[in-house]
Structure 1
């Protein structure tokens, strides 16, 4: 599902970035030169307005242990200034929320995609019980700024610790697992971070070199980085997106959905798998999210495009979720606007992902050993 398909937080009013020359959209998708903006963003010299994202805070002495007990990552040991990522799953292990986590020693800050703050806050409120935690939606008070460098603007620090989230995607976190079989994961070049600034400071931030959302999405796709608003649907489990790499701790205590996470990882296989597609650009068509992925010569869908982008070096690329048993060397196509776009598959989650446990074969009852 595209971020544009989800409701945005409009209570802050129009973003000052939307008033910049050439801006298209609010927050801007681009400022008139998407590929040039993308190059500047990759070089670490531009920022991206993410003012449509949400911010939920959890304060109180039980905040970290409480969140640890509810979600997929081990965060109870976070120190002030640490960054993490955690997922909230349903009882069947399906993804319901993805949270980018900062703790400043007093408050835990949960950064979420557009339209997710209200639902997350409501769910967390139901799970409070008698614990010493306080919850708030701070989406109106703070604006999220994304970058792949260190922008010349100070992050907010209401409790003395700058609110900067550094994406853990660059390497496999402790307790995590990577399914991708590659010598060097493209995520190692993904130096992405998000900063919270006070909403009143967003006009000042808009004076810095800027890039649009299209630039950020293209670089994210190239890094094989899943995102809740785009790669997740009602059936998604973390294994399908290789999200155990950064957001799941496989040996922590129980949490909702943990049984499915362990069972699929140790004994089974995820039913679908994430791939990156290199698209034929000769027709000049970039498929929309939801476009069917098919085997060459067939019209029967085996998956869907989740994000498509024009990369300044790789050309047209996309992330897609396809059936697990699709052969790694299968010739694929994407159907878009009555056009069949040839697509070369780059394997992220392989067909044999999961079944990590070496389960010994037990003799049948009554069998005679020889």
Structure 2
């Protein structure tokens, strides 16, 4: 199976270590994966609060920070899992923005469920040789495409499973509540990005002239994007702005001014699912070059008041990388108070994932520091 199968070896070893049955039922697989997560947490490889994570020997450093807004409980949450799937060169990062009366519960449920479900689906894929093994005679570009096809399949299945599990959750009412979900998996020198909703991932890379440039990796899935609006209207949903919110397009039921969602993709929100809201992720990949320095994942509370370029400038000029997310959020708070005075501040959260322990290029990126 060669290099391609190495992305599955860590999980395969973990099941061997846990002596899982050869013919694992879904419950057996989930139990083994949950045990893996508990072990990773004991080793401080999982971060679910503001702070940073930088495992010994890892090229990754992830900085996380979240600040509650002025609308009540903080409905944002995040996760970083170093050594994801028992693979030393893998890291999983996710950021989630809940909304509605149960939004904070929904966001945390999806945060906790998504990496576990992804690994469960990963284990299932191990037994499907047509997916797990590339065809012989393929060149490296074709193998890259096939690896991406597997990740896309895994994410599509995972998001469908997570949304279905959420719908039937006995303790969380997600009929009128939901969450966005933006995740990045780094595996070696490739990142896989899956986005549901209007959080955003922005890459910082060094251009030919040596300047640090922002590249937006995701689409903000707002209801007025043509293909999103077309789908919603095709399902008898409606898209329009309220008079006191010009420019803020929302999704509405056919005959009621409810729920008024400001995004076109989300987990939960089953009151509007049959009218065009979906939890299908957009999945993309990028090979990390020496010029690519870090990626910022942030909820819309950041992007409402900070541009992509401003964000990477703030992060790159932070003296300690471990404090990069905090400084970005603090700058967004200041910008919100300046630009949106009188409007209740949204929850503001960010994850900054650095790719290199130090840079071989001459620009204003500081080396990683111990957390």
Same fold (TM over 0.5): no
More helix as a share of residues = 2
TM normalised by structure 2 equals 0.27
